[in-house]
Structures are given as C-alpha cells and as structure tokens.
Amino acid sequence: MKLTVYNPQKGRLETLDVEFTAENTTWFEKSYNASSIRRITDFGGGILIQKLDYSYPIWLYEISREAIGHNHKMAKDLIKPYE
C-alpha cells in the first residue's frame, strides 16, 4: 500500500510502499481520542508511528517496536518533538 509519511530526518514528506501484517505491526485497539497511537510498524530499519487522527505517520530511523516494548506511550513520546 502506498503511504505518505513524514520523515523528520529529512524534514519532508515521502511516499513509501508499506505492507501492514501481524508480523510487522502492533495495533492499539483501545485508542480513545485523536492523539492516541493507532499503530506502530517496523519498516526499513526504523519504525512508522501513526496516530488515530488524520496526520501523516512519522518514520523514525534506527528504532524498532521491540526496542520500545511495543508500548504506545513510548511511541507517543518518540513523536512528541515532531508534532
């Protein structure tokens, strides 16, 4: 699936071809408001973090879901500087 993401390392939007599977994605079913994390996905040696709202997912390099313990609070803290 083609997905437009924000790449803060380059400071721009990029279009990626991402496949969301059970092996590479953690979904957060108990998302309560628009600022909640919807899903985190391992991609290209980094992680895609998408909120429940209509903002672009953020692609961070050199980190994985495992490194943050599949934790939505840690994912939210990672993207806080880019919001």
Confidence band of 31 (pLDDT split at 50, 70, 90): low
Q: Please state the pTM of the whole predicted model.
A: 0.91
pLDDT in tens, 13-27: 999 999 999 999 999
Integer Cα distance of 36 and 6 in angstroms:
17
- Minimal CA–CA distance to 6: which of 83, 73, 69? 83
DSSP 56: P
Contact 49, 40 (CB under 8 A): yes
